[in-house]
Amino acid sequence: MPRDSFTEIILDLEKPKKVWVATVEVEISRLEGTRQIAIVMNASDFENADDIDYFITNFDPHIATSQWFVDTYSQRNWVEVFYREAKGWLGLKEYQVRDKQSLERHFILVFCAYTFIIWHKLTGVLRRRWATKPLNTFPEALEAFRTAMSFRFIEWINQNRDVFIAYKASLGFIWA
């Protein structure tokens, strides 16, 4: 592609980053319709670039501009952070279910817990209500959340012991 096909874009990150982007609309065999392809480089030409990324989308060309590509794909790290934290801390991959509905319920619970913890961490509510120290990391926020939920569960059991005993008995267990 000629050098003038590339547009200089500055990514608005913690540390601003300059990239050069060219987009082209193409037809790909075995795919219906057209696709937008973006070439994103860390230099203004192929000879000087040592980091070249290729992206493809089926979004309309009026939407999938050079700026849209870099803005959209610069956010993909947060998706990876979410999955790493959801798998490692909330048990996203630790399910033992036998049907689709149970799997969906598990995912919903994990996503809700994650959203709840992130919201509390960002607003500082966890620190004010459930901790006497700053909660700067996801594991710290999760531990505060677990502590609060444990406390509330024990309180509920103390007030509803007969309900809990009946539930366990219906499963064939004895709460002794």
Pairing of strands 34-41, 52-57: antiparallel
Quote the distance between the C-alpha of residue 85 and its chain's center: 8
Amino acid at 108: I
Question: In angstroms, rounded to a whole number, what is the distance separating the alpha carbons of residues 73 and 22?
Answer: 14
For the chain, report the end-to-end CA distance as a whole number of angstroms: 75
- The string of pLDDT tens digits covering residues 11-51 is 887 788 899 999 999 998 888 888 999 999 999 888 889 98
**27/45 same-domain check:** yes
Q: Assess if residue 130 is contained within a domain.
A: yes
**63/129 same-domain check:** no
**In the listed set 51, 74, 97, which residue is the last one of a domain according to the structure?**
74
C-alpha count within 13 angstroms, C-beta hemisphere, residue 150: 7
**In the listed set 54, 74, 94, which residue is the last one of a domain according to the structure?**
74
Residue 126 has pLDDT above 70, yes or no: no
Q: Assess if residue 175 is contained within a domain.
A: no
Residue 40: the pLDDT is 93
Question: In angstroms, rounded to a whole number, what is the distance separating the alpha carbons of residues 161 and 154?
Answer: 10
- Helix/strand/coil (H, E, C) string of 39-58? EEECCCCCCCCCCEEEEEEC
Share of the chain above pLDDT 70, in %: 96
- The string of pLDDT tens digits covering residues 26-36 is 998 888 888 99
**69/83 same-domain check:** no
Residue 172: the pLDDT is 92
Range of the domain at 116: 78-170
**30/16 same-domain check:** yes
Place of tokens 């939920």: 149
